[in-house]
Chain A
């Protein structure tokens, strides 16, 4: 399952870091951050609960870039 989320991030390098962090989160099969569109596309592992996974994604992203936001 693939879903797209609106994000807020200020620098391109931080966006790349967020992508990395999201990819490493459990329950995420793949993730891609589109810095210019300010969107994150997340592909979930089969059977994962997007809501729960996104909470973890946000937490991991905050670790690498403290003032990023993800709307979900």
Chain B
């Protein structure tokens, strides 16, 4: 049915609904065409007995549950209330309304609602599992030249596993043989394949696309990335949001409230009418009270909330954003201030040559000489010089290397004196140089005793960072801040380029936390902290929502943060907020819509405008609408 497979229990309910409906319709038609010919005196009783057949078919389990509930002191459960409402309606059928199909209809619709609920939950569970269909079932080990299939759970750390093209990497490890490209989309949401070769670390959950890989495992299956992610997603909705807790509490008072109202409605107006000498119309008031009971089940309200959160969490993970709990998804929607760490978050954390100023020699020559002189230095600046030069340097060209700590390097390249270092080095050699650039670390180069030029090395801003801030602003964030240990000048330039509102530079690790607390004190809404998770743990924990980026594989970061963005893209912060806002909007819609319908119908029932038919149709209808609405949270279109 509609591509939905029903479980055995659900199928049984489905057949009962069909059977009871058919009998009821047959009875209605028979009595309409006068096919039931009995005397008018016993007619109500005969009809009662006839309608009892479909009533029991559809409602027997509810009656039994109601009886069990009472024996356990659960007088106000919905089974009991449904039973009272429908039995009452049947009895009133004999004495007052002459309408028996109503009670059967209430039971039928109630069961349809319950069945729909069960199907919806099953369906959203499968859609999440499909989304998360990344659990590898097998690992392959090579034994005597043959591949043996084993349970990944049994593979010990340090074992070499073989991953063939098309297979999913089951366990985290390092490639020891082969090269290939990997589809990491299950982990990062990123569709561009990543190339790996010997010595590279690979994460479980990626699909091997081209070549055979031999991987030495570095973790057990249970500690591997894929297991961790699945665990996190599956258990995320265990951490309940305040909205959810509120609705659960509300549901607990809602039912007794409606029941008390029903009791009052059954007694008070009749007594008043009696008091003023009018006909008390007991039966009419009892009928209206019973209609109240039909609307007393809080199910629509209660079910749509966890379903909505669940769909939102699922939607987030399909976009490469792991949210560790419904509470954090909720908190994200209230974020108005986002505080970023700089290095590794907004910038790539990789130093590159950003500026070359040369006076007398060509740019290439300057870079070549500097790179050659520095070629044997382990310093990161040396590495970026060599990278910028881009060619292999024949080290035999470099002789008489002198490393001068805190200043730089002096060496002979092709027999020519080359000095590469900071202002101090130039001063000590009596060479005049320009002022150092404010935008990073500047090294000066002197060739053959004469000043040749300078090379500035700085951290590279991620290409997505600017868009990320724009997206956040569109998403309603009114304050974006960057904290960094770098110099004020560098910090300001980066912040200016990206378009951040505030920037604080030259912060020691401890200062970051103090500054964050200051920002939190002066912010209206919630404050999110975004870091790369390496040394930001205190800030991640302290902020209202701690977000780490590109941290997949780093356990400590995942531990400390509330939201994990699986790739390096800072725009995902806005995506996460977008999903969160959408989910919360859907949940609010559901709450408001359900409450309006429920209280609206209670009001109308009290003044007699709504009969039981309408009441149950509205009740089941609003629940179905709320469930379908919740499912929308699963889909979030990200405008790349």
Residues of A within 8 A of B (CB): 4, 10-13, 16-17, 32, 34-39, 41, 63-64, 66-67
- Enumerate B225-253 residues with CB–CB distance to A below 8 Å: 234-235, 237-238, 240, 248, 251
CB of B237 within 8 A of CB of A36, answer: yes
Query: What 0/1 readout, one digit per residue, does chain B (74-117) give for beta carbons within 8 Å of chain A?
Result: 10011000000000000000000000000000000000001001
CB of A64 within 8 A of CB of B306, answer: no
CB of B251 within 8 A of CB of A38, answer: no
CB of B302 within 8 A of CB of A16, answer: yes
Known interface pairs A13-B298, A13-B303, A34-B237; 14 further A-B residue pairs with C-beta atoms within 8 A, sorted by A's residue number: A10-B114, A11-B117, A11-B303, A13-B302, A16-B248, A17-B77, A32-B238, A34-B238, A36-B121, A36-B124, A36-B310, A37-B235, A64-B74, A67-B65
CB of A41 within 8 A of CB of B238, answer: yes
Say whether B299 faces chain A, with CB atoms less than 8 Å apart: yes
CB of A10 within 8 A of CB of B251, answer: no
In the bound complex, residues from chain B placing their C-beta under 8 Å from that of A66 are 64-65, 68-69
8 A-B pairs within 8 Å (CB atoms) are namely A12-B299, A13-B251, A16-B251, A32-B238, A36-B306, A37-B125, A63-B72, A67-B65
CB of B72 within 8 A of CB of A12, answer: no
CA distance A32 to B310 in the complex (A): 15
Residue of A nearest to B255 (CB): A13
Query: What 0/1 readout, one digit per residue, does chain B (35-77) give for beta carbons within 8 Å of chain A?
Result: 0000000000000000000000000000011001100111001
Closest Cβ of chain B: how far from A58's Cβ, in Å? Answer: 14
Chain A interface, >50% SS class: mixed
Contact flag A10-B248 (CB < 8 Å), given A16-B302, A36-B310, A41-B238: no
In the bound complex, residues from chain B placing their C-beta under 8 Å from that of A35 are 121, 303, 306
Say whether B503 faces chain A, with CB atoms less than 8 Å apart: no
Say whether B22 faces chain A, with CB atoms less than 8 Å apart: no
CB of A10 within 8 A of CB of B118, answer: yes
In the bound complex, residues from chain B placing their C-beta under 8 Å from that of A17 are 77
CA distance A35 to B251 in the complex (A): 16
- Enumerate B100-148 residues with CB–CB distance to A below 8 Å: 114, 117-118, 121, 124-125, 128
Say whether B307 faces chain A, with CB atoms less than 8 Å apart: yes
CB of B114 within 8 A of CB of A41, answer: no
CB of A34 within 8 A of CB of B121, answer: no
CB of B307 within 8 A of CB of A32, answer: no
Residue of B nearest to A32 (CB): B238
CA distance A67 to B65 in the complex (A): 8
CA distance A12 to B121 in the complex (A): 9
Closest Cβ of chain A: how far from B65's Cβ, in Å? Answer: 5
CA distance A41 to B237 in the complex (A): 11
Closest Cβ of chain A: how far from B216's Cβ, in Å? Answer: 31
CB of A36 within 8 A of CB of B307, answer: yes
Contact flag A63-B302 (CB < 8 Å), given A11-B114, A11-B117, A32-B240: no
CB of B117 within 8 A of CB of A63, answer: no
Closest Cβ of chain B: how far from A62's Cβ, in Å? Answer: 8
CA distance A22 to B50 in the complex (A): 43
In the bound complex, residues from chain B placing their C-beta under 8 Å from that of A37 are 125, 234-235, 237, 310
In the bound complex, residues from chain A placing their C-beta under 8 Å from that of B310 are 36-37
Closest Cβ of chain A: how far from B118's Cβ, in Å? Answer: 5
Residue of A nearest to B313 (CB): A36
CA distance A68 to B248 in the complex (A): 19
CB of B251 within 8 A of CB of A34, answer: no
In the bound complex, residues from chain B placing their C-beta under 8 Å from that of A13 are 78, 251, 297-299, 302-303
In the bound complex, residues from chain B placing their C-beta under 8 Å from that of A38 are 121, 125
Give the residue of A11, A32, A36, A63 whose beta carbon is less than 8 angstroms from that of B299. A11
CA distance A26 to B65 in the complex (A): 25
In the bound complex, residues from chain B placing their C-beta under 8 Å from that of A36 are 121, 124-125, 128, 237, 306-307, 310
Contact flag A41-B72 (CB < 8 Å), given A16-B251, A67-B65: no
Query: What 0/1 readout, one digit per residue, does chain B (273-307) give for beta carbons within 8 Å of chain A?
Result: 00000000000000000000000011100110111
In the bound complex, residues from chain B placing their C-beta under 8 Å from that of A34 are 235, 237-238, 306
In the bound complex, residues from chain A placing their C-beta under 8 Å from that of B299 are 11-13
In the bound complex, residues from chain A placing their C-beta under 8 Å from that of B125 are 36-38
Residue of A nearest to B67 (CB): A66
Nearest first, the 10 A-B pairs at minimum CB distance are A12-B303, A63-B72, A36-B310, A12-B302, A13-B302, A66-B68, A32-B238, A16-B248, A35-B306, A34-B238
CA distance A62 to B4 in the complex (A): 29
- Enumerate B196-244 residues with CB–CB distance to A below 8 Å: 234-235, 237-238, 240
CA distance A64 to B252 in the complex (A): 13
In the bound complex, residues from chain B placing their C-beta under 8 Å from that of A12 are 117, 299, 302-303, 305-307
In the bound complex, residues from chain A placing their C-beta under 8 Å from that of B297 are 13
- Enumerate B507-531 residues with CB–CB distance to A below 8 Å: none
In the bound complex, residues from chain A placing their C-beta under 8 Å from that of B307 are 12, 36
Contact flag A10-B117 (CB < 8 Å), given A16-B302, A36-B310, A66-B68: yes
Residue of A nearest to B326 (CB): A34
In the bound complex, residues from chain A placing their C-beta under 8 Å from that of B73 are 63
CA distance A70 to B299 in the complex (A): 22
CA distance A67 to B305 in the complex (A): 23
CA distance A41 to B325 in the complex (A): 14
CB of B114 within 8 A of CB of A64, answer: no
CA distance A37 to B309 in the complex (A): 12
Closest Cβ of chain B: how far from A40's Cβ, in Å? Answer: 10
CA distance A34 to B69 in the complex (A): 23
Closest Cβ of chain A: how far from B585's Cβ, in Å? Answer: 20
CA distance A11 to B117 in the complex (A): 7
